[in-house]
């Protein structure tokens, strides 16, 4: 161990908390003060491993490490303050350094479990960060509004209202990946106007090829991470999109190629599911991308796995929470692999919350009680593979990741 690593270990033993950012700085907490410490790039991997190894000290007496996100959020607060004062030359994202490689540092006990037993942080309508008003897709219910907003820029009120109830995330796909999200929901649509494939949430939000490139870049840089992508035509645009499935598959294959999980086991001559493969096996074979779809849609890609989540289609936070807790009470009777903390807004919901983000903050505040319920519900050998969020924050993402490491979640 180098002298520098020895200093780091002593700091950890004395104070129980340390944080490293992706640009080469480290902060140690002592009496609510934080100091950035430089270290060489050659030591970065060793320090990262040291940090992730100590994640398993959650339950050790006297050590509080990343519990419920409070420690990291405090670290981020201090470091942002130092950046604003010019003490640090650039913004430090604590969460991305800790959780961009979280699957790599999972305990072997978890890596040897079926992939379906791992609880993944997921996002709903993952690419819906901002509407692309410049590329509206013709649709009987929305094209007039998209075109109106494109040409009448002096009417921002219309744009703002639609943006407030279309955008479901505040972070790009890349930032979601860096912060630990490993399950994504993509809705695709063909645009007759320019012949391109877009991602949509009724309205156009991004280009498919751009977003797939973001996934590819991340996986190339983080080869031990496994990402699940639920991809389907956006419902409003499905009729125009289905004839262009070959074009979508071409983009998928170009970006992921051999890194796609193979649905068919040619050796055993049988189809596989996520119950049949371990995390360790996926990592060893560099199968980093898992494609899924649900039964209400046609299968798009040969390696897509049918996986059904619950969409309760309710209009209030209270109804959605009641439905989720009911699912967890009957987990051993269900084949559900995912739950979504999302609500279908109606007029009263829009009036009450004024934006999807404020509604998401309300329902997301109940995530911890949902995780606590799941700790008890999953013990009969039935599992959720993902929890999907609107406006997923680094703190919420962290809480789902850390749930896998608690004693209640380490399986017999």
Rounded mean pLDDT of 63-88? Answer: 57
**Greater pLDDT, 7 or 289:** 289
* pLDDT confidence of residue 31: 29
Structure tokens at 281: 């096996």
Tens digits of residue pLDDT in 196-246: 999 999 889 999 999 999 999 999 999 999 999 999 999 888 999 999 999
Residue 28: predicted pLDDT: 45
* CATH architecture of the domain covering 111-403: Alpha-Beta Barrel (3.20)
- Overall average pLDDT of the 144-149 stretch: 54
- Both tokens of 208, joined, read 């498919």
Q: What is the mean pLDDT of residues 59-75?
A: 42
Segment 140-144 shows an average pLDDT of 56
Q: In angstroms, rounded to a whole number, what is the distance separating the alpha carbons of residues 87 and 27?
A: 13
Q: Which two tokens stand for residue 167?
A: 């955008």
Is residue 341 within 8 A of residue 364, CB to CB? The reply is: yes
**Which range, of 142-156, 160-174, 354-368, averages the lowest pLDDT?**
142-156
Q: What are the tokens at 391? A: 């406006």
Looking at residues 90-99, what average pLDDT do you find? 78
Q: What is the DSSP string of 281-324?
A: HHHHTT--EEEEE-TTS---STTPEE---B----SSHHHHHHHH
According to the model, what pLDDT value does residue 46 have? Answer: 53
Q: Does residue 61 or residue 228 have the better pLDDT?
A: 228
Rounded to an integer, the average pLDDT of 158-165 is: 78
At residue 87, the pLDDT reads 60
pLDDT of residue 229: 98
Give the pLDDT confidence score for residue 20 in this predicted structure.
Answer: 46
Mean pLDDT within 377-399: 88
Sequence spans of domains, the chain: 3-99, 111-403
Mean pLDDT score across all residues of the chain: 79
Nearest to 410 by CA among 181, 120, 182, 117: 117
CA gap 364, 342 in Å, rounded: 9
Token duo for residue 369: 């009680």
Which of 51-65, 313-327, 364-378 bottoms out in mean pLDDT, i.e. has the lowest?
A: 51-65
Contacts of 39 (CB under 8 A, 6+ apart): 4, 24, 26, 47
Query: What pLDDT band is residue 57 in, cutting at 50, 70 and 90?
Result: very low
* pLDDT-based confidence at residue 97 (cuts at 50, 70, 90): confident
Residue, of 58 and 46, whose pLDDT is higher: 46
Read off the pLDDT of residues 295-309 as tens digits, 9 standing for 90 and up.
Answer: 777 788 888 988 866
Question: Per the structure block, which two tokens stand in for 49?
Answer: 């491993």
Q: Which residues contact 157 (CB under 8 A, 6 or more apart)?
A: none
Please write the tens of the pLDDT for every residue from 176-191. Answer: 999 999 999 999 999 9
Q: Which stretch of 84-88, 146-150, 195-199, 329-333 has the lowest confidence by average pLDDT? A: 146-150
Contact 314, 307 (CB under 8 A): no
């Amino acid at each position: 161990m180098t002298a520098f690593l020895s200093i780091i270990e002593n700091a950890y033993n004395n104070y129980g908390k340390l944080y490293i950012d992706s640009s080469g700085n480290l902060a140690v907490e002592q009496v609510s003060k934080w100091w950035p410490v430089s270290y060489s790039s050659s030591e970065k991997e060793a320090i990262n491993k040291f940090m992730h190894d100590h994640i398993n000290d959650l339950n050790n007496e006297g050590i509080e490490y990343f519990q419920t996100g409070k420690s990291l959020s405090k670290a981020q607060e201090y470091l942002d303050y130092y950046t604003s004062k010019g003490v640090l030359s650039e913004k430090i994202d604590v969460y991305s350094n800790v959780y961009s490689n979280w699957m790599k540092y999972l305990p072997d006990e978890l890596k040897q479990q079926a992939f379906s037993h791992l609880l993944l942080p997921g996002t709903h309508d993952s690419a819906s960060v901002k509407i692309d008003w410049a590329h509206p897709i013709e649709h009987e219910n929305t094209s007039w509004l998209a075109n109106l907003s494109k040409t009448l820029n002096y009417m921002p009120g219309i744009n703002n209202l639609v943006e407030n109830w279309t955008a479901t995330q505040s972070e790009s796909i890349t930032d979601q990946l860096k912060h630990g999200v490993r399950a994504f929901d993509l809705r695709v649509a063909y645009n007759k106007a320019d012949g391109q494939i877009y991602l949509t949430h009724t309205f156009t939000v991004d280009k498919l090829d751009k977003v797939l490139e973001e996934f590819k870049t991340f996986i190339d840089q983080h080869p031990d991470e496994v990402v699940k992508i639920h991809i389907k035509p956006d419902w409003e645009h499905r009729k125009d999109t289905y004839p262009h499935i070959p074009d979508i598959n071409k983009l998928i294959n170009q970006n992921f190629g051999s890194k796609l999980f193979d649905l068919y086991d040619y050796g055993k001559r049988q189809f596989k599911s996520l119950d049949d493969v371990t995390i360790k096996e996926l990592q060893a074979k560099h199968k980093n991308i898992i494609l899924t779809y649900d039964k209400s849609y046609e299968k798009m890609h040969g390696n897509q796995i049918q996986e059904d989540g619950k969409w309760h289609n309710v209009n209030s936070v209270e109804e959605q929470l009641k439905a989720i807790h009911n699912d967890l009470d009957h987990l051993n009777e269900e084949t559900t692999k995912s739950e979504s903390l999302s609500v279908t807004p109606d007029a009263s919901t829009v009036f009450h919350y004024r934006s999807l983000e404020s509604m998401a903050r309300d329902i997301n505040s109940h995530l911890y009680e949902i995780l606590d319920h799941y700790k008890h519900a999953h013990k009969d050998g039935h599992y959720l593979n993902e929890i999907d969020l609107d406006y997923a924050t680094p703190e919420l993402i962290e809480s789902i990741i850390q749930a896998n490491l608690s004693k209640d979640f380490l399986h017999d």
